[in-house]
Structure formats: structure tokens, C-alpha cells
Amino acid sequence: MEENNIILTIKSLSKYFGALKAVDEVSFEVKRGEILGLIGPNGAGKTTITNVVTGTYPKTSGSVIFEDTDISNLKPYQIARKGLTRTFQVVKPLIGMTVEENVLVGSLYGRDKRNTDMKNASKRAREIIKLVGLESKKDSLVSDITLPDLKKMEFARVLAMEPEVLFLDEVMAGLNPAEVEEASILVKRVRREKELTIVYIEHIMKAVMGISDRIVVLHHGRKIVEGTPQEVVNNSAVIEAYLGKRYAKEVNNEG
């Protein structure tokens, strides 16, 4: 991964809801091929940034530059077709359809409409289903599978869109420790095999530390720290944001 190979630039991005500054002048860059962790306590602004970057919410100010193009005024489907996609905190399956049919939708309506031919789209969907380990569930209705499998299905559906950059919004939520470990391994393997760039949104620090190359920490809508996992975990501002001022003072005194 080249040091200056930037694929996505978030520049002075803000999103206000009336007087509430959900995202306030946040800037960071994402390098091609990396996993960037975007973390912070609940309410820090992580999902709001994701919604603005992917076009769900209009920005208040700032810009989002994806591969040298300002996408901050585009619609979600236009952004997705350029190669920037996302999952959701709450899984959004297409009810009444099978796992394979859900993934097929992603294949048909993905980047640049590459798989509009049904035969090619179906082949692509089956390949992705195998990649995420859902072959045995491909004919199951999405209403009949478990939460971990639903999360794999949604991951497969966005992968079938052939993205270059993928925002994963709290994909570990609701999973037990063994399932978290399995999901982490899957994300790292898919990143490697598909040469993806991933922005990994999470509020549980432990879940993101072992998977990220770099981490950006948000608190009350602002960026407070950016660095390697080791730099972030030992930063007093991060400790304070997660555990409170009193605990941060105790840690500093012990140091």
C-alpha cells in the first residue's frame, strides 16, 4: 500500500440537525487498500458521517472526494454505482426473498451496472455467497436464517455490487465473541482477496483494534485522534471519551 495513495478524502465535513452538530468539521483521508477504523462512543457521529458520505443525508458543509471526484451532492445510487457502498447497523434484507436472490439484487444493480445480464449476475452472486460461507443457506428465505448469517448475507450483497470502498457500519453488533472473531477473519480475508478499501465503523474498541491499519476516533461529532491502533488505545483523550475523565486521570497518574 503506497503511503500517499488516497482513494477517499473527507474534508471539513459537517452535518447539523437544527442546533445539534452531529458532525462538526471532520477531516480524514482513506488510503487505497487499507482498513480504516472509525470509532467513538455511542452518539459520536460515526453513522451520521457514513450517511453523509454515502448520500443518505445531505451535508451541511464540507466535501467528500472519491477518486478525485466530489460526490458530496450525489444521490446514494449514483455514489454506489461509482464504487462506494455501505452496510447498515440494522440489517435490511429484502423480505420474502432467498439469500441468493438478495445477493443477486446487489449484483444486478452494482457499480456501473456491470452485471445487468442475468446469467453473469447470477454467477457473480453465487461466487460471493461461497466467499462469505453461505453456500448451504443460499436457497433459504432471509426470514429463516440467524442474525450472523443475515449479516453475512448483507456483506455478500454489497460485495456483489463490486465496490472499491466499503463502509461497514457496526457489523459486529449483536454477535457473541466467537461470532465476532469469525466475522473479523472474514472481513480481513475479503479485503485481501477483493483488494477492497474498508472503513470499519464501530463503537466497541476491542472489536476494531485487531482489524484496522489506522483508526480515526470521533467524540461529540468531532475528530479527536487519528493514528495506529496502538497509538489510539494509549491516548488519554480516547480513554477519557470512552471511560470518563476520572479514569483517564488515574491512567495518566499510573504512567
State yes or no: pLDDT of 3 exceeds 60.
Answer: no
Q: How far is CA 76 from CA 53, 73, 181, in A?
A: 9, 10, 31
Overall average pLDDT of the 93-117 stretch: 86
Percent of the chain with pLDDT over 90: 68
d(CA 45, CA 41) in angstroms, rounded, equals 9
d(CA 102, CA 214) in angstroms, rounded, equals 32
CATH T-level fold of 1-83+164-227: Rossmann fold (3.40.50)
Return the amino acid letter for 214. Answer: R
Q: Which of 65-74, 91-100, 234-243 has the lowest mean pLDDT?
A: 234-243
d(CA 31, CA 213) in angstroms, rounded, equals 10
Task: Please compute, for residue 217, the number of CA atoms within 13 A of its CA located in the half-sphere on the CB side.
Answer: 24
Strand partners, 11: 63
The answer to whether 217 and 40 are in contact (CB under 8 A) is yes
d(CA 97, CA 153) in angstroms, rounded, equals 12
State yes or no: pLDDT of 246 exceeds 90.
Answer: no
Overall average pLDDT of the 70-85 stretch: 94
d(CA 224, CA 63) in angstroms, rounded, equals 19
The answer to whether 59 and 10 are in contact (CB under 8 A) is no
d(CA 224, CA 26) in angstroms, rounded, equals 9
What's the confidence (pLDDT) of residue 37?
95
Q: What is the pLDDT of residues 26-45, one digit of tens each?
A: 999 999 999 999 999 889 99
pTM reported for the whole predicted model: 0.88
- Sketch the domain layout of the chain as residue ranges: 1-83+164-227, 93-162
Return the amino acid letter for 134. Answer: L
What's the confidence (pLDDT) of residue 245?
61
State yes or no: pLDDT of 2 exceeds 50.
Answer: no
pLDDT band, very low/low/confident/very high, at 13 (cuts 50, 70, 90): very high
User: Across all residues in the chain, what is the average pLDDT?
Assistant: 89
pLDDT band, very low/low/confident/very high, at 115 (cuts 50, 70, 90): low
d(CA 82, CA 76) in angstroms, rounded, equals 10
83 Cα distance to chain centroid: 13
Q: What is the pLDDT of residues 187-216, one digit of tens each?
A: 999 999 889 999 999 887 777 888 999 999
pLDDT band, very low/low/confident/very high, at 243 (cuts 50, 70, 90): low
State yes or no: pLDDT of 179 exceeds 90.
Answer: no
The answer to whether 81 and 158 are in contact (CB under 8 A) is no
